[in-house]
């Protein structure tokens, strides 16, 4: 009889370990699903925010082309009534674009790549890869347009330079990257 009690006590640790492991697996599956969902929302928001920024720049460039009269076919790509007047007013204050048809073609291609009406917003592998490809293509078009206009990239370079935030920053620019030595003090 004494041996049964001791055997039960000795197997108690194994029983608690198994019970704790099973509870951990259930909690981990639930927490993993929640964390994965939050991560997916964050990443999709970042990508669509980048596309939205590029779309805004494309609309401004397109309106500047329309205002300068360089590209008459650019008028086919317009936004809604209220937004169009705001964009037009802002763009009239900017210098018009006096470039060739290659610039107009690049702007039209950029507009086609980032047009929100043509984006597939489904959670499938094909839709995700299509959005990533369109974002990469649009980033390249923005760089081409910027070079043609002599503009530099704006504020958040991740919207133009791809997916890595802070890409293209030089050493000592205060970005906090490992190459940034601007905060180091010289010892004498």
Q: Each residue of 79-93: pLDDT tens digit?
A: 444 455 666 676 767
At residue 150, the pLDDT reads 81
- As a whole number of angstroms, the distance between CA 160 and CA 151 comes to 12
> What are the structural domain ranges in the chain?
46-161
- As a whole number of angstroms, the distance between CA 36 and CA 123 comes to 13
Other Cβ atoms closer than 10 A to 166: 14
- As a whole number of angstroms, the distance between CA 162 and CA 51 comes to 10
Which residues are within 8 A (CB) of 67 and not within 5 positions of it... i.e. 6 or more apart?
88, 91, 92, 96
CA atoms within 13 A on the CB side of 96: 10
At residue 26, the pLDDT reads 92
pLDDT band at 164 (very low <50, low <70, confident <90, very high): very low
Does residue 37 register a pLDDT over 50? yes
Helical spans, DSSP H, in the chain? 2-68, 81-92, 101-114, 125-149, 158-161
Instruction: Indicate the SS3 state at residue 179.
Output: coil
Average pLDDT of the residues in 30-40? 89
Considering only 22-31, 79-88, 104-113, which range has the smallest mean pLDDT?
A: 79-88
At residue 113, the pLDDT reads 94
- Give pTM, 2 decimals: 0.62
What are the CA-CA distances from residue 97 to residues 60, 62, 92, 137, 183 (Å)?
Answer: 11, 9, 11, 22, 40
**Mean per-residue pLDDT of the chain:** 77
């Amino acid at each position: 009889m004494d041996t049964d009690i001791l055997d039960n006590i000795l197997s108690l640790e194994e029983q608690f370990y198994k019970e704790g492991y099973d509870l951990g697996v259930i909690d981990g599956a639930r927490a993993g699903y929640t964390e994965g969902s939050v991560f997916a929302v964050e990443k999709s928001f970042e990508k669509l925010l980048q596309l939205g920024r590029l779309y805004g720049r494309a609309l401004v460039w397109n309106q500047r082309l329309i205002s300068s009269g360089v590209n008459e076919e650019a008028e086919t790509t317009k936004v809604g009534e209220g937004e169009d007047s705001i964009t037009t007013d802002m763009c009239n204050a900017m210098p018009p674009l006096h470039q060739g048809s290659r610039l107009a073609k690049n702007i039209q291609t950029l507009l086609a790549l980032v047009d929100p009406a043509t984006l597939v917003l489904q959670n499938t592998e094909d839709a995700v890869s299509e959005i990533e490809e369109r974002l990469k293509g649009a980033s390249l078009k923005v760089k081409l347009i910027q070079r043609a206009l002599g503009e530099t990239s704006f504020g958040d370079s991740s919207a133009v330079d791809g997916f890595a935030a802070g890409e293209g920053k030089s050493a000592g620019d205060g970005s906090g990257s490992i190459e940034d030595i601007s905060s180091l003090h010289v010892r004498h």
